[in-house]
Amino acid sequence: MYIAEYWEKLDIGTGSVLNAVSRSPRNAEFVYAGQGVNRHPSWILRQQVHGVRDLRESTSCYAPEDVQSSLGIYQSDRTEAARAETQEKALKLARALERTRDTILKIAYSVVHDLNIFPALAKASSPVALIELAALKPADPFLVERKMRFLVSSGFAEEPEPCQYLPTALSKEMARRTSIGVVESLFLEFLPAGQKLPEYLELTGRRHLQDGFSWLCESPAALTRFNAFMEGRRADRAYWADWFPIQDHILTGADKGSDGTLLVDIGGGRGHDLLVSSNGSPRHQAKLILEDLPKIVDEAETALDLEGNGIDAVGYDFLAQEQSVKGARAYYFRNIFHNWSDDKARLNIKNLLPAMERGYSKVLMEEYILPDKNARALEGMTDIAVMVFCSGLERTRQRFSNLLESAGLKVNKFWTREGDGQGIIEAELA
């Protein structure tokens, strides 16, 4: 799903190899092997590395000039040794240019996660001995040594002395709750679902998948993992109010009274987007409401100071209940509709319509907006991913328009931003 994003950023195509080595989904290794670069070696010279603001901390990072030097040698001396050296330096530079969560989404280490190695490394201020890591679970020291060898080579740990290990930015990131959710979701839900897809389609006569997300909602542990996964993904994306003209299209004309609700974040998880809205902005005086399933809202209220940030939390099932917050200026959905078929998405909207005030309330849907043709690899692969995982789909502008119009809304405008293909569909009562 995410390897395409990596290659698109580097503009070298999608020729990499992902090795899935598995005896069971739980013990799988999802490994980026770094092979298959199929363009001229001078591709690296085209990268805009000077525009990157935040290089990841890593002692194994090569500077762009090191890569260029190796490329020059390889172009004049086409030996295997020169090729291997150039590739290694290019890969290390590429890793340094990535955000930490980008790498985690492509390289998940389930066995190391199960051995509790990442938390032990993350809190270490001095080298941790192999025997200490092996004693955590416990596990065979030789098994742990082999796992650590690969972690070091991939930038997830440093080895200042043989069998002595220090954390890197990546190993610290892997100990975070959201990254743990990524690893567990990939190995316990995403990969097994993908593995079973051909068998499932054969059994069902290759019919289009329907209503897979309901299973997730009935599986509390999986739902918790998924929400942590999505929280991590959301944290890395541009905050919508920083690029959407919220002043002109939402704040202007909004009810300033004490009872007026500015924004309802429907399916907003633990409130990560609303916490940004309520902090350090003139908008913080507005009434903000978080809605999600009761279990998720309870978790959010326990873990975060929602009330102290002016956020009201309400348990709500948008497929089973009519919207209770009436006359809000904006009802906001972030990456919700791509999880559902058109029928379920239409039901969501139908439950919202009675709460909306004509000529005042707006629906804001932040989603991938697929092009009519020539979709990028990331967009196509994300569409397949949501199909496999939750019977959802990414939509083109026409599909969005058809969906909203069939449910009683009209599209005001498609707002797009450069980069990842996501945008906002602004709609109101037809």
* Catalytic residue (choose from 113, 249, 272, 338): 338
**HEC secondary structure over the chain:** CCHHHHHHHHCCCCCCCEEEECCCHHHCEEEECCCCCCCCHHHHHHCCHHHCCCCCCCCCCCCHHHHHHHHHHHHHCCCHHHHHHHHHHHHHHHHHHCCHHHHHHHCEEHHHHHCCHHHHHHCCCCCEEHHHHHCCCCCCHHHHHHHHHHHHHCCCEEEEECCEEEECHHHHHHCCHHHHHHHHHHHHHHHHHHHHHHHHHHHCCCCCCCCCHHHHHCCHHHHHHHHHHHHHHHHCCCCHHHCCCHHHHHHCCCCCCCCCEEEEEECCCCCHHHHHHCCCCHHHHCEEEEEECHHHHHHHHHHCCCHHHCEEEEECCCCCCCCCCCCCCEEEEECCHHHCCHHHHHHHHHHHHHHCCCCCCEEEEEEEEECCCCCCHHHHHHHHHHHHHHCCCCEEHHHHHHHHHHHCEEEEEEEECCCCCEEEEEEEEC
- Tell the burial category of 87 from Cβ atoms under 10 Å away from its Cβ (0-12, 13-18, 19+): middle
Question: What is d(CA 359, CA 59) in angstroms, rounded to the nearest whole number?
Answer: 57
For this structure, is 249 an active site residue?
no
Angle at 242 between CA 236 and CA 246, to 5 degrees: 135
What does each C-alpha distance from 223 to 89, 129, 220 come to in angstroms? Answer: 39, 36, 5
Annotated catalytic residues are: 338
